Amino acid sequence: MLLCISVVFAQQSVTGIVSDASGPIKGASVSVKGSNKATQTDANGAYSIQAEVGQTLRFSMIGYTAQEIITSTAKTINVTLINQEGALDEVVVTAMGIKREKKTLGYSFQEVKGDQLVDAKETNIANALVGKVSGLQIIKGSAGPASSTKITLRGNNSLTGDNQPLIIVDGVPMNNFLGGIKGNGEKNNDIWNPATDMGGGLGDINPDDIESMSVLKGGAASALYGSRAGNGAIVITTKSGKAQAGAGITYSSTLGLETIFMTPELQNNFGQGKDGVYNPTMTNSWGDNISGKAYDNIGSYFNTGVNHTQNLAFQQQLGETSIYSSATYLNDQSKIPGSSLERLNLMTKVTSSFGPDKRWTTDVKVQYMNVNAKNRPISGDNNSNVYSTLFTMPRSMNILDFKNPLNSVGDMAWYGTSENKTMNPYWLEKYRLNNDIRDRFVMNGNIKYKFNDWLDTEARFGRDQYTTNYDTKTYGGSPLITGGSYVLGKNTFFENNFTLALNAHKDNLFGKWGGSASVFGQIMKTKSTGIDANTGELQVPNLFYINNSKSFPTIEQSLLRKQINSLYATAEINYDNYFFLNITGRNDWSSALGLDNRSFFYPSVSASWVVSDMITKTGGTLPNWLSFAKLRGSYAEVGNDLPAFQLYNVYNVGKDPNGNTTAGIGTTKYNPDVLNELIKTVEFGFDTRLFDSRLGLDFAWYKTNATNQLIDLPMNPYSGYEYEKINAGNIQNSGFEVVLDGRILTNTDKLTWNSSVNFSTNKNKIIRLIDGVDMYPLGSYDNVSIRALEGDLYGDIYGTKFLRVQDSDSEFNGQLILNGNGVPQAADGLHKLGNQAPKALVGWNNSFAYKNFGLSFLIDGRFGGEFFSGTNLNLQANGNAAITAPGGERAPFVVEGVVNSNGTYVKNTQQTTQQLYWTQVTSTTGNYGITEQNIYDATNVRLRNVTLSYNFPKTILGNSIVQRAKVSVTANNVWMIKSYANGIDPESVFAINSNATGFENFSTPTSRSFFLNLTLGF
């Protein structure tokens, strides 16, 4: 901490200015320890408080290290607070926006500053969290830079839910929707024809507007948020107005370039054909040697993406009113030809104090987000997936030969015969178009009245609403559909939250005991609608109008409504500011549950014991090497209810393709007697700082059991239903997290170096399902299945495996059993081949500063876990994979293994070819062949991000209107240090909105990006 203290002799009244490096701070708390005297700084950072000589003044502000000063005869004390990330006595934002000192927390807590999110230069800010928070896993979609991103904290707690933490923005829950959704509101992860991933909800937010992110991992941390925070919560605090030197205007401009980061490993020696012979009608690469060179069709097709972001912001304090306002425009012309993303963010936030003694405070914010995406990628084993075409195109063919996508009669120009159903990527770019536009508002208004210095009341209103309009236009003249087709749809969503709160805080209840308490009442209402119309084939080609359909258009519609009423409270007592005990309780009444079960209560208790403070306050002395030590522990129960309208079966009325009226009650039998899920969490940990706080260590151990799982139990189809909704199961997560940080070099006049390491490991186990059922499917893709089995880990991957000798007494035990052609066979049934969960997650952050230069980098790694790669399988099947031409050759070879000769095993001597071998391996037993072949270790370590910056000193800026200037260069996905999947990025996931995340299939190649940023302050 740096303090500027000037002393002028006086008596009882103490005045002064509280500031930071940028100038005066409005709203900083100034209190007299051991009394009920407290005040806040005004718009100019000034304060005035009555204090006796020898009393202790405490200065604190969110994001800054608190400072305590013993008063003397001085009447003026000016304090400069330093923003010290990770300081244990800093004030942080916890559940319900309650600000608490970090050392008082009895649970694991991590905060990410807004600058870290901005420096990452990610289009979706969720991706910027990689490696920065222990226990947090980022699972990226495979639909390019604008795809959804799934967040999990400490594993999966549910078999059917999305397992994501609740996202809170300035007290308003924000819907972080994921992946492709059909018009009827259902998820669509069909491997052959999945819905388009229209991006995730968190990707709508502008990183430049964020002050901080608080990650609440355990049940005790997030219990106040109720049933939707059973998987934790991420609390986002946006910027508010602060007094600024100059006009308070900031302009930032960023230019980015995007290239391909990783591509599959391909062979470069053999071209179009089969059996080693050239054949111009074939779509694979089993032909003869290429006479010239293999073509880089991936590199030829993709562009260098260009991304630019313009941000204009104003913040200032005008009397008792602080204002923050910003406008940001993002334009991302992707490396994917024809694909683009535009995002406009507007935000205004006004906070004002008024009335006698400034007892009234209002806080009003409006955020507007407009996202316009064109030609989002199509995924899966779909003819419209351009990546499947590029990856599997014969190596002797040049994609540039088909850059003119139309032939002489106006149909799609392509190669091969009519049996070739693949699509010309250039035709898809121009004649299969999709567009989605989302308009979104996140709004909140708070009004607070302070009765006295220890009691206040507050009313809050928050709303998240959006409308997404989308269409898909497919022109005629291709194998997709002769006359073309048209899809038009619209999704709407809103959630309103009304909250009343009463808050009390006293440091001197009696003796050395202090306490605080808050009571809340809340009403949450939400509604979502969807409508989707599909013409099928058009009557008049290329006339995109819903009624222009050869048959009857298919219409799908959805409506969901839900309300939760809640009463909840939190209370904390502390002894001498070193022992803290916090208790919470919440009761929800959910409309999604039956009348007899819709009320459910869940409590939490947490304790923090600052051992180092206790020692010093009781007359002891700390060892020179020990600066701080704290023990903590917590227990919590958190509920979780159903989605809307899953209590009773009702008839859905529709039309068949011939226009006849149909009615059905769905495939799941609902049960109005189901109970809420219950998640129980216990956590213990400690924080310590050593060697004058230059080294810090935070450790947490936790165990979570999620019981009463709301699952769809498979039923006998003859019952009329496929599933039944029941309560069952017990899912356990247990593990530990370590955060190690160090201020290695601290000479501010020369070189400083700060480093931090996040490490976490989690074991996600299925303790119990239900009597008579020991397996629950999380996702199935032909002969690849991802399951939850009783007694095993969550997310085991099942598939077919190679047939091997299973005789421990045999000299051939474990060897492949080949057929008469000398190629492998598949064993009967499906077998466990791996598990999708990582065994450990690691992030290593480093930041250096030398005078006005800054350098930071992040290395992160995922260790353990497996995934199935459909891309590798398809490359092997058509002869493009490098593994199909070892050493650039395709000479006949003998597969190591045995054959069964009259009941005995003998060593194989039968020669085979690469084509016969890989055709057998990739086509036996199902569309994904012998799946064991394409199970890959998901371990990967990469240099994720590097940023170099320079802050222009005042000596250069002089007396110009420019108050601050900074230039920076950033690179993302710099270097894949280690991976095992033959050029497929393990971060690519097919079904992002499911819990089966161990499956990849024809993913969009991930990106490496470079950014140049200039920021000016006026």
In tens, the pLDDT along 641-688 reads 888 999 998 888 877 777 788 888 888 899 999 998 899 999 999 999
What are 877-932's pLDDT values in tens digits?
Answer: 999 999 999 999 999 999 999 999 888 999 999 999 999 999 999 998 888 999 99
Neighbours of 449 (CB within 10 A): 13
Q: Percentage of residues in the chain with pLDDT exceeding 90? A: 61
Q: Determine the pLDDT at residue 294.
A: 93
pLDDT of residue 2: 34
Both tokens assigned to 22: 């940028």
Helices 914-923 and 870-877, packing angle to 10 deg: 140
- pLDDT winner (highest mean) among 377-391, 626-640, 737-751: 626-640
- In the predicted model, what is the mean pLDDT of the chain? 89
3-state secondary structure of 109: strand
- Give the whole-angstrom CA distance, residue 725 versus residue 709: 10
pLDDT at 816 over 80: yes
Confidence of residue 6 (pLDDT cuts 50, 70, 90): very low
What tens digit of pLDDT does each residue of 490-510 get? 999 999 999 999 999 988 888
Encode pLDDT of 107-131 as tens digits. Answer: 888 989 888 888 888 888 888 999 9
pLDDT in the model for residue 41: 81
Phi/psi of residue 202, each to 5°?
Answer: -70, -25
* Burial class for 659, CB neighbours closer than 10 Å (0-12, 13-18, 19+): exposed
Q: Which has the closest alpha carbon to 444: 503, 364, 345, 332?
A: 364
Q: Which homologous superfamily does the CATH classification assign to the domain defined by 91-1017?
A: TonB-dependent receptor, beta-barrel domain (2.40.170.20)
pLDDT above 90: residue 97 = no
Q: Quick one: pLDDT at residue 309?
A: 96
- Whether 1 has a pLDDT exceeding 60, the answer reads no
Q: Residue 616 to residues 10, 33, 577: CA-CA distances in angstroms?
A: 31, 17, 12
Confidence of residue 12 (pLDDT cuts 50, 70, 90): low
Q: What share of the chain is helix, strand, coil (3-state, %, to 5)?
A: 10, 50, 40
Place of tokens 């669509």: 188
Q: Is the pLDDT at 143 greater than 80, yes or no?
A: no
Looking at the predicted structure, is the pLDDT value of residue 85 above 60?
no
Among 44-48, 276-280, 444-448, name the one with the lowest average pLDDT.
44-48
- Taking residues 444-459, report their average pLDDT: 94
| pLDDT single digits (tens) 769-800 | 988 888 999 988 889 999 999 999 999 999 99
In which residue are the tokens 């002797």 written?
396
Structural tokens at position 626: 């020990």
| 909, burial (CB in 10 Å: exposed 0-12, middle 13-18, buried 19+) | exposed
The whole-number average pLDDT for the span 524-549 is: 94
Q: What is the 3-class SS of 867-927, one letter each residue?
A: EEEHHHHHHHHCCCEHHHCHHHCCCCEECCCEEEECCEEEECCCEECHHHHHHHHHHCCCC
pLDDT of residue 62: 62
Q: Taking residues 751-758, report their average pLDDT.
A: 93
At 267 the pLDDT is: 95
Q: Which residues, listed in sequence order, are joined to residue 594 by a DSSP beta bridge?
A: none
The answer to whether 594 and 611 are in contact (CB under 8 A) is no
Give the mean pLDDT of 681-701: 94
User: Cβ(565)–Cβ(500) under 8 Å?
Assistant: no
Distance separating the N- and C-terminal Cα atoms of the chain? 28
Model pTM above 0.85: yes
- Placement of tokens 């590199």 in the chain: 299
pLDDT > 50? residue 88:
yes
- The rounded percent of the chain whose pLDDT value lies above 70 is 95
Cβ neighbors of 919 (< 8 A, separation 6 or more) are 877
Q: Which CATH class is domain 12-83?
A: mainly beta
63 φ/ψ sector (left φ>0, alpha ψ -120 to 50, else beta) = left
Q: Where are the domains of the chain?
A: 12-83, 91-1017
Max mean pLDDT among 51-60, 87-96, 504-513, 676-685 falls in 676-685
Q: Which helix H or strand E contains 616, and what residues bound it? A: helix 611-617
Per this entry, what is the length of the chain? 1018
Q: Which of 803, 882, 792 is nearest to 832 (CA)?
A: 792
Q: Which token pair is 970?
A: 């950033």
Inform me whether the pLDDT recorded for 421 exceeds 90: no
Neighbours of 481 (CB within 10 A): 17
pLDDT (0 to 100) of residue 791:
94
Mean pLDDT score, 807-821: 93
Longest dimension (CA), the chain: 108
How far apart (Å, rounded) are the C-alpha atoms in residues 473 and 176?
27
